[in-house]
Structure 1
């Protein structure tokens, strides 16, 4: 990851640059593939330090964080906390989405494996009353039968508990 450190109206010492590099490297733990980071520290007329951290993240765009404080190190640490919160939310969103897709794939695979073939015994024609009695005694969800006219019919249990007939 490329890190650019910019100081406006403030001279950056090696200790400051090391601290900034340490802060930026701490957010790499989220494995977001950060391409480039720009850290800008600006001192205004009233001796306030404004820290701005900009990070370019693939598939996300740009993450920008600002913080203003009298102490430069405190402003940098608070900006780091805000950035970590932002990146953690994005990381959690990505990982939760991926887990959800994996679970859905597993459910679909399980459903495909559970298809069981059953023998279909519809050779003997039945009247609707005979089919109704046989269906009630069988405990099935539906039953296919051949009626007395030779047509294939389906009897099933509806959601309201009554029987339906096709």
Structure 2
């Protein structure tokens, strides 16, 4: 079984760390959980890779903007991922799907740990999914997953690491 890992862009970390006025930004690592790895062929390598990279970007920018968890290492595991609309791979595999009108409940589950700059290790657990099809807003394939990433990032910045 393949293992994929995604990390914060190194260039951005080096540029931020080089400035003496800024604290060391958090390092964010994202890996895929076993259940999600089993779904990669169904969802598509490209889409899953893009979502892992998106999770890194959303969490990193939120924490940097809010000055939270400076110097921490955040290891996240993307354990589940559900699109609101068919992915490119799903459209290829099932030509009868309508990429415009096919809508479903989407979201994401994320777990992991935070190792603070002081060396304390804290658990992270968050999930968010639309509660019903009427709640699905927007036209993006990963609209609800992106909402989960943004809510997780705000929770981390506010010190709420385990929810639900």
* TM-score bracket for the superposition, by shorter chain length: 0.3 to 0.5
TM-score scaled to structure 1, two decimals?
0.42
| Higher RCO (C-alpha under 8 Å, 6+ residues apart) | 2
- Between Structure 1 and Structure 2, the one with more strand by share is 1
